[in-house]
């Protein structure tokens, strides 16, 4: 597993490179052929995209899937009905592919920087007229490949195989602004624990640890969140879940508020949904400081997002 400290060490060597939106670098020690094959396979995997959810502000109340009651229903602060993000193209994209010839493995590390806008409409004037505030955050994710013998190549002659991938994490670019922190995410399927993550840089075995679902499976996601900023708001944090395969009509992103659950032991956020369509994607647990929703244009956006991979397969393909 790649821990946060090791992950920081790996990425330290990439920070000196500034590139345009479509560039890749630094390349690491992989040959150009290996690099191109590995990045193509990552793109095809469905687990390594740069984004999640719907681009821009939209009305979350129109989501097709039912939501649990939001935590802030009786609170002093409420999330607006219309909000969203527009990250735009990355201002810096750093991808490293390092190959260990003796072990026959390759480690991919990705760091993508965005300078976008957070959009929200808190005017309550009956018109969809969202305002904008600055959004500066980065995406960090890792993957591991194994080199297979020639006879095990796929139909295109490719011999690299994705064997593990980390969750994706979006964090504030400036360290001092990382006041919101997701500390744990737990995924249960039909009441059975499938995955527990306490470190977003942890490598998940593709065959053994990435949740495998069937259509109509009941999936419960729980998230534990901390907020170090004393913003005086109640609640201090809103948590949402972004889903792609949860509507009965089509494959499309929706965003649902997670319910805040307070017990004698701790506090967490929870949402239950049903898998609908086959495919690979990720759920995204999205924790946002409540202060973000109280002003129109101030530079007060603070968030932490974990994207957890999953795959939904037909029942006959399930083990």
Domain of residue 165, residue span: 4-313
| 16 occurs within a structural domain | yes
| 162 occurs within a structural domain | yes
| 318 occurs within a structural domain | no
pLDDT < 50 regions, the chain: 1, 4-25, 64-75, 318-319
| 137 occurs within a structural domain | yes
How confident is the model at residue 282, as a pLDDT?
92
How confident is the model at residue 27, as a pLDDT?
64
pLDDT in tens, 200-241: 999 999 999 999 999 999 999 999 999 999 878 889 999 999
* Model pTM score: 0.87
How confident is the model at residue 18, as a pLDDT?
32
How confident is the model at residue 77, as a pLDDT?
82
| 95 occurs within a structural domain | yes
| 319 occurs within a structural domain | no
Total number of domains constituting the chain: 1
How confident is the model at residue 233, as a pLDDT?
86
pLDDT in tens, 267-302: 999 999 999 999 998 999 999 999 999 999 999 999
Nearest to 161 by CA among 41, 308, 264, 246: 41
How confident is the model at residue 75, as a pLDDT?
42
How confident is the model at residue 67, as a pLDDT?
36
| 166 occurs within a structural domain | yes
């Amino acid at each position: 597993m790649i821990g946060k400290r090791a992950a920081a060490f790996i990425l330290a060597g990439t920070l000196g490179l500034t590139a345009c939106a479509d560039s890749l670098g630094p390349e690491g020690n992989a040959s150009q052929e290996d690099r191109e094959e590995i990045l193509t396979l990552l793109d095809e995997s469905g687990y390594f995209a740069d984004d999640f959810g719907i681009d821009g502000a939209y009305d979350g109340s129109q989501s097709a899937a039912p939501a649990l009651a939001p935590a802030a229903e009786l609170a002093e602060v409420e999330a607006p009905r219309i909000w969203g993000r527009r990250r735009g193209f990355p201002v810096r994209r750093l991808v490293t592919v390092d190959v260990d010839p003796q072990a026959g493995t390759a480690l991919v590390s990705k760091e993508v920087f965005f300078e976008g806008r957070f959009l929200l409409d808190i005017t309550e004037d009956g018109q969809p007229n969202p305002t904008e505030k600055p959004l500066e955050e980065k995406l960090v994710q890792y993957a591991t490949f194994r080199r297979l013998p020639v006879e095990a190549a796929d139909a295109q002659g490719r011999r690299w195989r994705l064997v593990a991938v980390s969750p994706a994490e979006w964090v504030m670019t400036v360290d001092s602004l990382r006041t919101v922190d997701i500390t744990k995410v737990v995924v249960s399927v039909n009441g059975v624990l499938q995955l527990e993550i306490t470190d977003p840089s942890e490598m998940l075995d593709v065959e053994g640890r990435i949740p495998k679902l069937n259509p109509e499976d009941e999936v419960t996601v729980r998230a534990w969140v901390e907020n170090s900023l004393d913003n005086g708001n109640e609640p201090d944090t809103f948590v949402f879940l972004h889903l792609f395969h949860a509507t009965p009509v089509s494959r499309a992103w929706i965003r649902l508020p997670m319910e805040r659950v307070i017990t004698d032991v701790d506090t967490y956020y929870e949402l239950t949904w049903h898998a609908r369509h086959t495919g690979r994607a990720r759920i995204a647990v999205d924790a946002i400081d409540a202060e973000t929703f109280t002003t129109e244009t101030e530079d007060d956006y603070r968030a932490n997002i974990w994207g957890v991979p999953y795959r939904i397969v037909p029942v006959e393909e399930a083990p």
